[in-house]
Every structure is written in C-alpha cells, then in structure tokens.
Amino acid sequence: MNVHDSEKVVGTLMARGYTQVETPEDAQLVLYNTCSIRDKAEQKVFNRLRQFQRRAGKGKIFGVLGCVAQQEGEEIFRRAPHVSLVAGSASYTKLGEMLAEIESGNRRVTGLSLSTDETFDTPFTHRDNPHRASITIIEGCDKQCAYCVVPFTRGPERSRTSASVMDEARGLAERGSTEIQLLGQNVNSYRDPSPAGWDFAALLARVAEVPGIRRVRYTTSHPRDFTRSIVDAMDSNPAICDHVHLPVQSGSTKVLAGMDRLYTRDDYMRRIEWLKTARRNYSITTDIIVGFPGETEEDFEQTLGLLDEVQYDSLFSFKYSPRPNTAALAMGGRVADEEKQRRLVIVQEKQRAIQIRRNAMLIGGIREVLVEGRNPALGQWIGRTSDNRTLNFTVADSNGHDLVGQYLQVRVTRSGPNSLVGESVSVV
C-alpha cells in the first residue's frame, strides 16, 4: 500500500513538472514515505533524516509523508528543523496545493487533517511496472484492533465509487496491464458509495471481467467481513487469482477478544472451511502476532495448533509491538521481549516445515506464471503463479526475447520453503 501511495505522490509531482532523479543526492526535493505499523518507526525516520542531511542535505527541501508524519505531526519540525512538509496519506488530495506553498517559499507546510471524507483518487499515478498495477479501492479503517495504529494514522474508512475503480481498471488494461491488485487496509469491507451500491464481491467479479485483465488479486481481507459471496465470485471467475490472504493474528479466542478482532477461532475456521470446500483450490496465507499482552503459553499453543489445522502456504509473523494511542498500551500481562522472540522463532520454524512439505507436493505439476524478471547469475527467469508463489525457471531457448510480462506454462522440478524451480514448457 505504501509503495502504491508513493506511485500516486510521484505521479502528482510529475504532473506539476517535477522529474525523478536516480539518487537522493541528485534531488532538490526529498520526500520520505513512512510506515509506523511496528517498531520504532519514528526513531528510524529521524535517524535517516539526520544522517542524510549531514551527508548530502545542503540546499534540499525535505518532507515526511505517511503514517509517521500523521502520528508525529508538527513535532517533526521541532526534532528535524530542516523538514518543510509533514503530510499524512489522508491529506494527499491536497498535495498539489501543499507543493505550491513550498514552491512559493513557505518553510512549514502541514497536511494532518483526518476529517477528510475523500480518498486520494488521482489521475496522475506514476506506475513503473507496465504489467502489474495496484488500485486502491478503500482507504482507512473503521475497526479498532487493540494493538493497531492504522485507524489513527490513516483515518476512517472511505470507499471509492465503483465507477471510478472500473474506469481506472479499464484504463490500465488499455495501456497493457494484465494483472490488477485491489488494495485496502480491509479491502473486503469495500462498500460502493454510489447508488450502484456494489459490495466487494461484486466489484471483484466486475474487475475480473475487464477485457485484457488476466489476473486480479486483492489484499488485505479482514476475516469478519470475508463473506461466502467472495468465495463464490472467486469460484466463478478464473481471472481472480487462487490466493487469499486472511490474517488471523492468533489461534486463541481469548487473545482475539483482547485484540478486539471481532471474530472467534471458530468464526475464522468457518471461513477457512468455505475456502477448502470451494470449487477451486485456494492458497491461504496469514499474519500472526506473538506476545500480545496476556498471551499465555497455552494461548500460544493454540496458535501453533491453528497452523497445523489450516496448513498455510505462507505467513508473516510479528512480535507484538506497542504503538502510540492504542488500547493495548494500558493492558496488563506484558510478555517479555525474549519470550516474544522465542515464540516468533517457534512459529517461523513450524511454518517453514509446513511450506517445505506443501511446496514439495507441487513437483511435477505445470503452473502458469507471469514473468516478472530475470536472474542472470542463475540463468533463470522469475515468475509468479496465480497462487502467489515465486517460480524461478529456465527456458530452453528464449531466442534473445525479453519474456517479462508474458504468461508461460512451467513444469515444477524442485521446491524449497519459499519458492519453486522449474522449466518452461511453453514455446517462446
């Protein structure tokens, strides 16, 4: 999401006549887009700003964008007086005006309002990748998970109209993109604000029907809003990729209640059951937090049990990280950092074994990949399967063709915990 936000910011700047340069040293305007979901993100930003200014910052204009900007606000001017612009993502609609103020010499410009009901819907997005493109369909979050800073940094939920999403999807297809990723903090909480009133399943199905679009992905889904109609839409539209990222966070209903996740373990497992009994095969991935306040050894074991039960194809795991303003800050039952680290390693080792086993089962099969790049050192092309696996492969004779952006059939010959290796069976 942050990468895509940067694409919008770059596009907006270019529309105002700015040009991109290769290195920060060559720039006159340097904008840091930041994330504050975990760890001491604010500390890192201040360190980077200080180091860069000392090394090469003379005469440059600095700005801080994104969640650290929203969270720290004008404090940034105090701690880093060389910064001229501080703006959170909910204010990017006003980026043009803010830049105009900077151009006219204003040394302190802020965009920190969260009261906006607009989405940052810009015609100027600058996308480097001509084949795969992201579209934000919903911004912000109305949930209040006890550990999470997002509602404070990205503001309330705002959905774009279905017409504007469809226009963007058609435009991308006309310019040659074949894969579209729909984005939102809780992408499946999408609700069309126009009279058409589409829900997420309807939008997903319509985007998948846009001529020229061969793959549609979406991330991230909140389990509470993951409906059966989404599975039905996926079953009926082969262009919707066979991958669902469904963050569970914990396998313990008690911890889930403490987190205010709005579902129990059973509610979550019901959704997994829908996916496992669906007409198509879906790859399921998740996010896990270990060491949330009050998480006992028994709670943790329930998370491990859930991993055995679901058999995820991949997961992101994190140590609970206290975040400003969040409800969990005031909770008792803190878990020591060494214990969080121990639990994290156990989760990762368990998942690694699951992935080794699951990936090995794919050897011998043929998969379609979208070619994303080339690894000349290994003589391999880098492909991605519909279910979001990396499949690196060789081509008997590519005749010197650049295969990036093509769809090829590849036979899987080897597997590891995080990727597959194969050889192309398509004639290129």
Figure out which of the listed residues 318, 335, 383, 384 binds ligand SAH, where binding follows CB under 6 A. 318
Q: Which does 126 bind (CB under 5 to 8 A by kind): ligand SF4, ligand SAH, none?
A: none
Cα(276)–Cα(282) distance, integer angstroms: 7
- Residues in 166-185 that interact with ligand SAH by CB under 6 A: 185
Q: x/- binding map, residues 209-248, to ligand SAH, per CB under 6 A?
A: -----------x-x------------------------x-
Does residue 284 interact with ligand SAH by CB under 6 A? Answer: no
Token duo for residue 69: 């900007």
Q: Which CA distances in Å does 136 have to 159, 185, 218, 280? A: 9, 9, 10, 26
DSSP three-state, residue 412: strand
Please report how close the Cβ of residue 55 comes to ligand SF4 at its closest, in angstroms.
35
Cα(207)–Cα(230) distance, integer angstroms: 13
Q: Which does 151 bind (CB under 5 to 8 A by kind): ligand SF4, ligand SAH, none?
A: ligand SF4
From 148-156, 334-342, 381-389, 406-414, give the range in contact with ligand SF4 by CB under 6 A: 148-156
Does residue 185 interact with ligand SF4 by CB under 6 A? Answer: yes
Please report how close the Cβ of residue 314 comes to ligand SAH at its closest, in angstroms.
13
Figure out which of the listed residues 1, 13, 83, 148 binds ligand SF4, where binding follows CB under 6 A. 148
204-234 burial code (b ≥16 CB/10 A, e <16): bbbbbebeebbbbbbbbbbbbbbbeebbebb
Q: Side-chain half-sphere of 80: how many Cα atoms within 13 Å?
A: 28
- Give me the helices (H) in 188-243, please: 200-208, 228-236
Does residue 385 interact with ligand SAH by CB under 6 A? Answer: no
Does residue 287 interact with ligand SAH by CB under 6 A? Answer: yes
Figure out which of the listed residues 4, 38, 44, 127 binds ligand SAH, where binding follows CB under 6 A. 38
* Contact yes or no for 354/305 (Cβ under 8 A): no
Cα(179)–Cα(404) distance, integer angstroms: 13
Does residue 186 interact with ligand SF4 by CB under 6 A? Answer: yes
Figure out which of the listed residues 116, 285, 314, 321 binds ligand SAH, where binding follows CB under 6 A. 321
Please report how close the Cβ of residue 81 comes to ligand SAH at its closest, in angstroms.
30
DSSP 129: -
Q: Which does 323 bind (CB under 5 to 8 A by kind): ligand SF4, ligand SAH, none?
A: ligand SAH
DSSP assignment string, 319-378: E----TT-GGGG-S-PPPHHHHHHHHHHHHHHHHHHHHHHHHTTTT-EEEEEEEEEETTT
* Contact yes or no for 283/387 (Cβ under 8 A): yes
Please report how close the Cβ of residue 135 comes to ligand SAH at its closest, in angstroms.
17
35-48 burial code (b ≥16 CB/10 A, e <16): bbeeeebbeebbee
Q: Residues in the site for ligand SAH, rule: CB under 6 A?
A: 37-38, 147-148, 185-186, 220, 222, 247, 249, 287, 289, 318, 320-321, 323
Q: Residues in the site for ligand SF4, rule: CB under 6 A?
A: 141, 143-145, 148, 150-151, 185-186, 222
